[in-house]
Amino acid sequence: MVSQIIRRLALVPQGGNTGLVGGSVPVQDEIILSLSRMNKILSFDPASGALVAQAGCILQNLDDHVAQHNFLMPLDLGAKGSCQIGGNISTNAGGLRLLRYGPLHGSVLGLEVVLANGQVLDLLRTLRKDNTGIHLKHLFIGSEGTLGVVTAVSIQCAPRPSSVQVVFLGLESYAAVTQVLSKARKMLGEILSAFEFLDAECMRISTSFGSVNPLGSAPASDAGSTQSGQIFPFYALVETHGSNGAHDREKLDAFLEAVMADGEACDGTVAENVHQASQIWKIREGISEALPHCGAVYKYDVSLPTPLMHRLVEEVRAQLAQWPGALALGYGHVGDGNLHLNIVSPKAYPDLKAQIEPFVFEWVSNANGSISAEHGLGQMKADAIYHTQSPTAVDVMRSIKNLLDPQHILNPYKMLPKD
Q: Which is nearer to ligand 2HG, 301 or 405 (CB)?
A: 301
In the complex, what is the shortest distance from the CB of residue 288 to ligand 2HG, in angstroms, rounded to a whole number? 3
Q: Which is nearer to ligand 2HG, 123 or 343 (CB)?
A: 343
In the complex, what is the shortest distance from the CB of residue 243 to ligand 2HG, in angstroms, rounded to a whole number? 27
| DSSP-assigned letters across all residues of 119-160 | -EEEE----S---SS--THHHHTTSTTSS-EEEEEEEE-EEP
In the complex, what is the shortest distance from the CB of residue 340 to ligand 2HG, in angstroms, rounded to a whole number? 4
In the complex, what is the shortest distance from the CB of residue 336 to ligand 2HG, in angstroms, rounded to a whole number? 10
Binding site for ligand 2HG (CB under 6 A): 20, 78, 288, 299, 301, 340, 342
The contacts of residue 3 (CB under 8 Å, 6+ apart) are none
**How far is Cα 11 from Cα 146, in angstroms, rounded to an integer?**
10
Helix (H) or strand (E) holding 165, with range, is: strand 163-171
**How far is Cα 167 from Cα 182, in angstroms, rounded to an integer?**
15
Q: Which is nearer to ligand 2HG, 63 or 301 (CB)?
A: 301
**How far is Cα 26 from Cα 149, in angstroms, rounded to an integer?**
15
In the complex, what is the shortest distance from the CB of residue 284 to ligand 2HG, in angstroms, rounded to a whole number? 7
Q: Which is nearer to ligand 2HG, 72 or 302 (CB)?
A: 302
**How far is Cα 208 from Cα 215, in angstroms, rounded to an integer?**
15
Q: Which is nearer to ligand 2HG, 178 or 288 (CB)?
A: 288
In the complex, what is the shortest distance from the CB of residue 416 to ligand 2HG, in angstroms, rounded to a whole number? 23
Q: Which among 243, 192, 278, 245 is positioned nearest to 70, based on CA atoms?
A: 243
Identify any residues that bridge with 338 across adjacent strands, giving them in sequence order. Answer: 303, 333
In the complex, what is the shortest distance from the CB of residue 282 to ligand 2HG, in angstroms, rounded to a whole number? 12
Q: How many CB atoms lie within 10 A of CB 68?
A: 10
Q: Which is nearer to ligand 2HG, 249 or 299 (CB)?
A: 299
Q: Which is nearer to ligand 2HG, 57 or 93 (CB)?
A: 93
The letter for the amino acid at 151 is: T
Which single residue brings its beta carbon nearest to ligand 2HG? 288
List the beta strands (DSSP E) in 260-353. Answer: 267-270, 296-303, 327-333, 338-345
